[in-house]
Structure 1
Amino acid sequence: MMQNRVRGFGLVEIMIAIVLGLFLVMGLYTMLSSSQQSYALGRANSSLSNSGQRVNQLIWNQLHQAGFVNYQRRLLNQPLPAANGWLKNQSVSGDNDLNTAGVMADTDRLRIRFRGSSVGDNDPAQSAVTTADGRMVNCNGTAIGNTQLLTVTLFVNTSNELICEDSMGNSVVMDRNIESLQFRFRRSGNDEPFVTADNVGAANWASIVAVEFSVLASMPSGQRVEATARDYQLLDKSIDAAADRNLRQVLNGSITLRNLGVD
């Protein structure tokens, strides 16, 4: 009676199988690593975009308050006063390409001022009520009443933080990873261009009717992206970014000042 012989794998066949298995594992690892890298890079880009939108909105919110004088003071013809270096009805002031302690070199600084708002400002029946109504706020987001004249300063410090300081003593970090902040201003009149702060004459600040701004935000990618130096254009200024692996985004915005002075 003949017996069936079961033939096993030879050494060469086993080695071929091992090599093929290694190639398969390496391929799967490469795909997984690439997928993880793409996901992390996507998250970093999303975080950078969200940060940029937040910074844009924070600056816009502050500029939206510039020059505010409540209704009752307008009726009494009480403008923003000429005091402490400010002109009458002047609502904004700027510094260009600073080289000042505590401020990031070659960045701009913006100051705005406005009065608070109270419950009685727009309600004759409650004209004596001076409780803040929440329309005008300081850097902390705290409502200020109509007896308060507030000055707010926006700048980037040497730690790449966007700072909001006010005349009530508050200093708030609005956002981080900011590499440059630039402003330009436009006077009232036909065909007036936007110019930097050092091109606004001292007597012309009260006639500023619009402000535009540009921010360079960055975010560590955490990935093996190519470290390449690159130039970024912020309004009139060209910024040479470091050759690192950070992601960067330029954010631009502008606002027409809605709160015109009273005389």
Structure 2
Amino acid sequence: MLMPILKLILKPIRQRGFSLVELLVAMTLGTALVLLSSTLYFSSKASFRLNDEKLRLQQDGSHAMGVMAQNLRQAGFGKLASAGSLAVTDFIEADGQPAQGLRGCAYGFARPLGPGKDFSCSNAAGMAAFEVAYRTDNYADPASGAGVDCNGSKVQPIAVPVDHPAYRLGPQVSIAKNLFFVARRAGSTASALYCQGNGNNNSAQPLLNNVEQFQLAYDVADASPRRWLDASQVSALSDDQLSNWKRVTSVRLCLQIPGEQMVSAEVQHYVDCDGAARVAEDRSLRQVFTSTVTLRNQAVAIQVPP
């Protein structure tokens, strides 16, 4: 009686494994899940890189446009005082002559970098450039921008001639002069937007790298017909350059910058500074910034002759 029971207990249990078809189905489903997870991961990573590049371009371009707009709004600024029926400003040069608040070059400066710098206007093809000047404080505070140039260097005050009407505003005056231009340093493959001030270091510092287009247009209030002019057209209004540039009431800027790497599998479409539809075959992003700045200080005061 005991033996049959023991045989029944000790009888091997037959285990059934997966069939080949079941294994193939399981492997197929597992592979599909891995591929789906990988696709989602790489898609999310590409989307993150794309958004990160968009944000970087937006921040860099907005900063550069903001610096230039702030300078243009101050162009020609000087303290005012009454002199009889006229007004006098201390926005003057060291010799007492009226200073020039704005000057533009349609094709850039002749030689803005390297030894033998030349900031006269170039006749060769190039991107636009401009110079702004304005009266700033005699003390330096880089945090607020008081008394410094576009690179944060202190602007040295000049003595106001004692017999000049502006002397009543103070014996010294600080005039900031900032030059904005696009150039390429030796050994570099890309152009950058620079600013050189007249502060202590008197050197050009890059505001923005990888600039593809930079254009300026000027609105002259009494021009007939009323239209946007480039710098060469403003200079050709008359032989008096100081008077020509005082007639400018607003400036339109356009800046185009590319991304530093290919971040999209699709070609990028954009409209450049000339208003032409373009296709970026290199699949890098392009960002175009435009802004119109109204000049607040041009021709505000009539300079009393010294």
Instruction: Judge same fold: TM > 0.5, yes or no.
Output: yes
Out of 47, 59, 78, the residue aligned to residue 56 of structure 2 is 47
CA distance in 2, matches of 1:100, 1:243: 32
1:79 and 1:89 in contact (8 A); partners too: no
- Root-mean-square deviation (Å): 3.3
Report percent identity of matched pairs. 25
Out of 123, 127, 133, the residue aligned to residue 107 of structure 1 is 127
Task: Kindly tell me the number of residue pairs found equivalent between the two proteins.
Answer: 247
Q: Is 1:189 the counterpart of 2:211 in the alignment?
A: no
1:139 and 1:171 in contact (8 A); partners too: no
The residue type paired with residue 105 of structure 2 is: D
Q: Which residue of 2 aligns with 1:225?
A: 265
CA distance in 2, matches of 1:249, 1:114: 30
1:99 and 1:105 in contact (8 A); partners too: no
> What displacement does 1:76 show?
7.3
Q: Which residue of 1 aligns with 2:165?
A: none
CA distance in 2, matches of 1:41, 1:151: 38
1:139 and 1:170 in contact (8 A); partners too: no
Q: Which residue of 2 aligns with 1:128?
A: none
Q: Deviations over 1:132-185 (max 9, x none)?
A: 575353022245455233321101112321100123413121122221111111
**Structure 2 stretches of 5 or more lacking a match?**
1-7, 114-123, 158-171, 185-189
The residue type paired with residue 53 of structure 1 is: S
CA distance in 1, matches of 2:21, 2:231: 79
Q: Compared with structure 1, are the counterparts of its residues 30 and 132 closer, same or farther at alpha carbon in structure 2 (3 Å cutoff)?
A: closer
Q: Deviations over 1:57-77 (max 9, x none)?
A: 111121122111124698972
1:48 and 1:249 in contact (8 A); partners too: yes
Q: Which residue of 1 aligns with 2:152?
A: 141
CA distance in 1, matches of 2:209, 2:20: 61
The residue type paired with residue 39 of structure 2 is: T
> What displacement does 1:17 show?
1.6
Q: Is 1:207 the counterpart of 2:247 in the alignment?
A: yes
Q: Which residue of 1 aligns with 2:116?
A: none
Q: Max radius of gyration: which structure?
A: 2
**Structure 1 stretches of 5 or more lacking a match?**
119-130
Q: Compared with structure 1, are the counterparts of its residues 29 and 242 closer, same or farther at alpha carbon in structure 2 (3 Å cutoff)?
A: closer
CA distance in 1, matches of 2:60, 2:93: 37
The TM-score, its normalising length taken from structure 1, stands at 0.78
> What displacement does 1:221 show?
4.3
CA distance in 2, matches of 1:250, 1:73: 44
Instruction: Describe how 1:232-251 pairs up with structure 2 within 5 A.
Output: 232-234=271-273, 236=274, 238=276, 243-251=281-289
> What displacement does 1:30 show?
0.8
Q: Deviations over 1:182-220 (max 9, x none)?
A: 111112338732211121125322211211111102222
The residue type paired with residue 59 of structure 1 is: M
